[in-house]
Amino acid sequence: MTELIPKPRSVVAGSGEVRLTAHSQIYAGTAAEGVGHWLCAVLRQATGLPLREGRELDDTGGDGIGLQIDSELAPEEYRLVSDSTGVLIEGGSAAGVFWGAQALRQLLGPDAYRRAPLGRDRAWAVPYVTIEDSPRFRWRGLMLDVARHFMPKDGVLRYLDLMAAHKLNVFHFHLTDDQGWRLEIERYPKLTEIGSWRARTKFGHRASPLWEEKPHGGYYTRDDIREIVAYAAERHISVVPEIDIPGHSQAAIAAYPELGNTDVIDTTSLTVWDTWGISKNVLAPTDNTLRFYEGVLEEVLDLFPADAGEFSSFVHIGGDECLKDQWRRSPTAQQRIEALGLGDEDELQSWFIRHFDNWLTARGRRLIGWDEILQGGLAPGAAVSSWRGYDGGITAARTGHDVVMCPEQQVYLDHRQHDGADEPVPIGYVRTLEDVYRFEPVPPELTPEEARHVLGAQVNVWTEVMEDPARVDYQTFPRLAAFAEVAWSSLPAPAERDFADFEHRMTAHYGRLDALGVAYRPPAGPRPWQRRPGVLGRPIDGPPPIV
């Protein structure tokens, strides 16, 4: 079975197979031991085979698996050879070996993804094959919004496993927003005591008349975060936390009213927001606010260490959709603009972002934010998540800033997958599996030198209308598989991509998703229980703008 996703660079099939037996061993060489422990664990639980750990590569004896580092390969590159001597996976680093182990798991068939053997006799075989592979992009990400609808820790760990199975390596963790604060901060306990829950929740788009009249909330303790980061690191995934400022901050202001613009509104009356959209309640540009968020970020840096993955030095500070009406009316904000010699409120936001760029840089970290941080001048050293189309990413790359491409028009997975009436809570533009497969992260307008600033791409999973993990699965899959191939494989231009071949390989991949318990959208459309009749969405007519 070689219907692999993402598609490898080179696959040469042989004649024969390696059969795993009760005598098979797994040998992991120096620096590959962690991958060996992981592979032993997942294959033992799926196959029921003992799969002992060998002491020497020769111990694999024709029916075993060897894992080792080959320094001549690029860090994430791997080579998998299955022949009469057994299976050998070599990688340029432990990450490369791990991605090769993911390919091996696919070769074993869908049942290799189960958590216990099915209790029937079957052969576990790896076909003779040579696979050589490496990723196109270094940053292959998924952004998960746990602020709008909280996902308990076990669900987050499950998504890290699903990311690893698709060779994705950056988990963008959207932890704070108007509708909830999800991270325990010791020095500011009200952020979770007050800010982590809301009294009720809008059901559907904000135009919907429906409400879920029960409290919703939850947060991750400090130890939960340490566990999530360690679990991700074992799977060679970097966790990039997002603390959204200065907009999308109503939950924080509800917990600590002094953070808001107290000279123009009564912030003591604010609660955690229970509907969707863009809140006008934003942080006040005061020294008190700066000190408060420095305190928050000090704990964030402790919980998300810089050495936990290739991109673990990044901290995302949002910077998007900051409505400035309150700043325009606030004497305090206007005095700050005058004192700093700024031109307008956009430059005031730029000053706010630059402050934290300097603060993070001084601590050996890198700031990344949504493309609104370009307004009023881009902070030196900052990277950009280009979400409003390509323009922000193009501008950033041309001025020497690194970019992650995640345009709403292509890879926002909260957007509907079909224009049919049965599609649950239809949001935004139709983005089919094929549409995502034809996404191209590098704009053709960039020169080769500018294009080097495109670190990669990510999908964004915003959860306003995703009330439970099954809805998250439905919106995310199978489109995440298409994105994974775009981010990993060296594909031709979008119009030239062989979607029919991808669909063929997906027939095998649906079996893997079934074994993993993923509630994906079937190719024929939603199952009856996946529909949400009568719940209003936000349909947009006409072709999407590409900006």
Q: Which residue has the tokens 């809140």?
A: 279
Count Cα atoms within 13 angstroms, Cβ side, for 216.
23
DSSP conformational letter for 111: G
Query: Which residues have CB under 8 Å from 93's CB, separation 6+?
Result: 31, 69, 75, 76
> Contact 76/96 with Cβ under 8 angstroms?
yes
CA distance 468 to 431: 21
Does 423 participate in catalysis according to the annotation? no
Angstrom distance (rounded) from CA 11 to CA 67: 19
- CA distances to 257, 298, 331, 361 from 290, rounded to whole Å, are 14, 12, 18, 16
| Catalytic hit among 321, 434, 440, 503 | 321
Give the C-alpha separation, 60 to 498, whole Å.
38
Q: Which helix (H) or strand (E) element contains residue 450?
A: helix 448-451
415 residue type, one letter: H
CA-nearest of 403, 410, 408, 343 to 377 is 343
Instruction: Please state at what angle helix 345-361 crosses helix 287-303, rounded to 10 degrees.
Output: 40
Q: Tell me the chain's radius of gyration from C-alpha atoms.
A: 24
Q: In Å, how far are 266, 346, 360 from 321, measured between CA atoms?
A: 22, 11, 22
Q: Which residues have a Cβ under 8 Å from the Cβ of 183 and sit 6 or more positions away?
A: 175, 176, 191, 192, 219, 220, 225, 241, 243, 300, 303
CA distance 143 to 506: 23
Two tokens, residue 374 = 């370009």
In terms of Cα–Cα distance, which of 99, 108, 193, 174 is closest to 138? 99
**Secondary-structure percent of the chain, ordered helix, strand, coil, rounded to 5:** 35, 20, 45
Residues recognised as catalytic: 321
